[in-house]
Amino acid sequence: MKIILLLILAFIIGSIPFGVIIARIKGVDLKRVGSGNIGATNVLRTMGKGSAVATLLGDVLKGSAAVAIGKYLSVGPVYEGLLGLSSILGHNVSIFLGFKGGKGVATGIGVLLIYSPRIAILTLIIWLVVVLITRYSSLGAIVSFGLLPANVFLFDRPKTELIIASMITLLILLRHRGNIKRLIQGTERKIGE
């Protein structure tokens, strides 16, 4: 029963749409501008760096908070990972946005920062390198999270973390199907466009 309640709490925390909240404060309907996405990349395109950083931090913190609650309550690595997954799912299908939402990248990083800090840093480095070379935020997410299970296998090894990492990858890649299609077609927008 405790785990079910914690999973629901993690989902609710993940559902908090920081980008939408910040946009509303500034009088902007984030779903109607730019790409329509609720994440930091669209906030950057439509409202600038300050708002994007605030959105990014909020989205990272909700992933970290979900796993940190599990650690604090000593639920063990399996349930910590499931709490992290629940927060990513909450971001992706937010109860506050009619079960619509973002792509889970920043929240996924937040989960990894507590769940597997070394892998979080490696994932961030891969994302940054891909983005600096290509200027595609989506490609950075696809590559860095696509490599997540391999990185966990090579550098962390525990079977539990590999299963959780694979599920995170699946959640994030599914949310990037449109981006993958646009990248193939050459119509995906770069950062700054």
* Section 95-122 average pLDDT: 96
Does 193 fall in a domain?
A: no
Does 98 fall in a domain?
A: yes
Q: Which domain holds residue 169?
A: 2-185
Q: Which amino acid is at 185?
A: Q
Residue 1: what pLDDT?
Answer: 82
Residue 98: what pLDDT?
Answer: 94
**pTM here?**
0.93
Does 192 fall in a domain?
A: no
pLDDT digits (tens, 9 = 90+) for 15-57: 999 999 999 999 998 888 887 888 898 898 889 899 999 999 9
Does 172 fall in a domain?
A: yes
Does 43 fall in a domain?
A: yes
| 121 pLDDT more than 80 | yes
Instruction: Report the share of the chain in percent with pLDDT over 90.
Output: 82
- Domains of the chain: total: 1
Per-residue pLDDT band for 158 (boundaries 50, 70, 90) equals confident
